[in-house]
Structure 1
Amino acid sequence: MPKDVRGHLIPGRISPPRPVDASIARPEYVGKSRPAKHVGGDVYDEATIDRIRAAGTIAADAIAAVGAAVRPGVTTDELDRIGHDFVTSHDAYPSTLGYRGFAKSVCSSVNEVVCHGIPDDTVLEAGDIVNIDITAFKDGVHGDSNRTFIVGQASDEVTQLVERTEEALRRAIRVALPGRRVNVIGRTIEQYAKRFGYGVVRDFTGHGVGTSFHSGLIIPHYDTEQYDTEMVPGMVFTIEPMLTLGTHEWDGWDDGWTIVTRDRSITAQFEHTIVVREGGAEILTLPSA
């Protein structure tokens, strides 16, 4: 069980990347050190939005399939296998696999891991939480989503953190309207989180998504004037708040991916890909049932 004497996570054993049938189209960055620069902006026509929605539905259904398997005794590597098999069985490619060298098809972030946890032989225990982040690439576009699951039954404090992080996402989606600046999203999240004394992670943000996994558009989750892109109809991006029971500051592991809270406090995250509409945002990463 990869934890230290204080019960904090440490790196575990990572199995080899899972194969993807050659018939499934890969994103352009697979096999390269970095993706090509995004072109074309963040506003899409309806035909492309339909494709993003289709990819997003696969991602959401894959997350649900993984979530159904979350229980004490399961490893995060097994959760990766379930997510990988679901995505590829729907003729889609798991976008994280091969992205900037990431070796897995799912991000699995347990307890104090803020984001980008690499599935390994970590065994989940009752009372843990685990965030499952899956992006599916199909027909030339990506759909990106994540959810945090409770393993068995957690403490009231942790359970409330998970529930309130999801509520922060819902509130943020409601304020995504044409003519507003993207920083209203972060303001909404931080104002809500401060009611409970939660930390709001700043350095990992929402982003433009569609024909590119990350377009360069930044969606802040905290109150800032720095990011002020105007939202317009047809704009597609993710909102993915990360709230903590302690600090918003973080440390990175030597693997170059895993981000943990500096004080090792528990952290939760939820994410949807949305498109801005005149009457309010539409979620593109809803499950099929």
Structure 2
Amino acid sequence: MRVAGLLTGRTLEMLRGEVRAGVTTGQLDALAEDFIRSGGGVPNFQLVPGYVNTLCTSVNDEIVHGIPGDRVLRDGDLLSIDCGAEVDGWNGDSAITLVVGGDEAGDPAAVRLNDVTRRSLWAGLAALRPDGDLNDIGGAVEDSITDDARADGVDYGIVQDYTGHAIGEHMHLPPNVPNYREPGRRPRTPVGTTLAIEPMVTLGDQANHVLPDEWTVATDDGAVASHWEHTVALTERGLWVLTALDGGEAELTARGAPFGPLD
């Protein structure tokens, strides 16, 4: 899974350098497919029935599952790029959100939303522990967003209809991994757990709908959204973020979480 995760992470890093005003989301998709296949992988989004693209590219008020095409990016757009690769039957899944043209080109509230979402992802990753449960993760994500909302005086919306998931020999496996606490007993997280944790946060109400293309999810109120994701493994040594190029060492150690790569 580390091999698939690294290929996914390196694809996203390549795309960071290609995002600029005037580029279409379809062009980014073509670049990603070539990069993954040249790296010995298969774009695993294409293995989802009915989906033919390598990426999901969601812009501004689109939360997730945006279909790449002829949309031309503009400076200031908030762009989520969700990407996955399968190598030798094992899967990686990761997403980043960035401002086209750099943060200086974006609306300050959208830039802050993006930072809040990224921070909540790492809070959730750092909360995964042996013999814990999924509420450890969802609660950490929720608390991180709630604390930032209180500090910013903004009501950030935590998307409830879409969640993270387990991952391994298939990209999507049970159980789902919500970004908030749920009542009752939740699935445990023993050593060997591999999850894709992916908070989705809006600058307004989290209510959303699916567009007529039957894939793209957008906010009802037109507010912008941010989406970040990493695939993580809970090893005997600690946490290993399989889609982070450094394995997550810098972010995890900064939060006091154990970094536990197997290589």
* TM-score, normalised via structure 1 length: 0.79
- Distance in 2, matches of 1:227 and 1:85, equals 43
Give the aligned partner of residue 284 of structure 1: 242
SS in structure 1 opposite 2:46? coil
Q: Which residue is equivalent to 1:87?
A: 36
**Structure 1 ranges of 4+ moved more than 6 A:** none
Aligned to 1:271: 229
Of the candidates 57, 64, 67, which is equivalent to residue 13 of structure 2?
64
User: What count of residue pairs does the alignment treat as equivalent?
Assistant: 238
Contact 2:24–2:73 (8 Å) recurs in 1: yes
1:206 partnered with 2:164: yes
Distance in 2, Cα, partners of 1:226 & 1:70: 43
Following the alignment from structure 2 to structure 1, what is the Cα–Cα distance between the partners of residues 227 and 123? 14
What one-letter code is carried by the residue in structure 2 that aligns with 1:234?
Answer: G
8 A Cα contact 1:76 1:119, kept in partner: yes
Distance 1:121 1:260 in 2: 18
Identify the residue that residue 235 of structure 1 maps to in structure 2: 193
Higher strand content, 1 or 2: 2
3-state SS in 2 of match to 1:102: coil
Q: Write the deviation string for residues 238-289 of structure 1: whole angstroms up to 9, x where unpaired.
A: 1000011011111001222110011111000110000113554210112379
CA offsets, 1:144-177, max 9 Å, x none? Answer: 1111111012011111111111110111111100
Structure 2, unmatched stretches of 5+, are: 150-154, 248-263
User: Aligned runs of 1:1-289 on 2, under 5 Å?
Assistant: 52-152=1-101, 153-195=105-147, 196=149, 197-225=155-183, 228-278=186-236, 280-287=238-245
- Determine the C-alpha separation between the residues in 2 that align with 1:74 and 1:226: 47
Q: What amino acid maps onto 2:109 in structure 1? A: E
More helix by share: 2
CA–CA distance in structure 2, aligned partners of residues 113 and 102 of structure 1: 17
Following TM superposition, by how much is the alpha carbon of 1:214 offset from its aligned partner in structure 2, in angstroms?
Answer: 0.8
CA contact (8 A) 1:177 1:278 kept: no
Calculate percent identity across the aligned residue pairs.
Answer: 33
Deviations 1:172-209 (A, max 9, x none): 11110012110221111112212312100011111011
- Larger mean CA deviation between 179-188 and 230-239 belongs to 179-188
RMSD (Å) for aligned C-alpha atoms: 1.5
